[in-house]
Amino acid sequence: MNYREVSGDREFVARLGHGEDWRGEIEALADEAGVDAAWFLAMGAVQDATVWYYDQSELEYREVELDEPLEVAACVGNISWLDAGDRRSAGSSGGGERFAHTHAVLSRASGQTLAGHLHSATVFAGELYVRAFDDELERERDEPTDLDLWL
């Protein structure tokens, strides 16, 4: 296990824009508010979604497209820099991007639930809570999993 203590007292609540991309809205808030690292929770509904499942034997994502209205029963994730090394070498004005690593539990009208890495979704309605950290968190390729994980 690799861990460290983080601190922070900036908190945000937001209503996600109807018709916008769910994850894009979270990343836009991070860009506008200058949030380099955070934890978030959200709930609401989407008009469609693309969910990824990570195949642990093949070390690659499998995509599932859902073209139907879904409730977002639970959504949790974190914000950090992706390709931060490029950002550092290029200065604060270039390279890298804030990335909202987003997981969600979605439910159909029948009550059946689907879950996974929420790659994209069209917002019907969404409410978001973000707790920002003072410490910057970066992602780096993890050799055994081939995933970009926190340092």
Is residue 136 in a domain? yes
pLDDT in tens, 16-45: 999 999 999 999 999 999 999 999 999 999
Total domains in the fold of the chain: 1
For residue 66, pLDDT over 70 is answered with: yes
Domain with 130 in it: what CATH number?
3.30.1330.80
Helices and strands in the chain, H and E counts: 2, 8
Contact 46, 25 (CB under 8 A): no
Task: Using the structure block, give the residue that is written with the tokens 């690799």.
Answer: 2
Best CA proximity match to 26, nearest among 109, 96, 97: 97
Closest CA to 25 of 96, 120, 104, 103: 120
Residue 3 lies in a domain: no
Q: Is residue 1 part of a domain?
A: no
Domain holding 20, by residue range, is 11-143
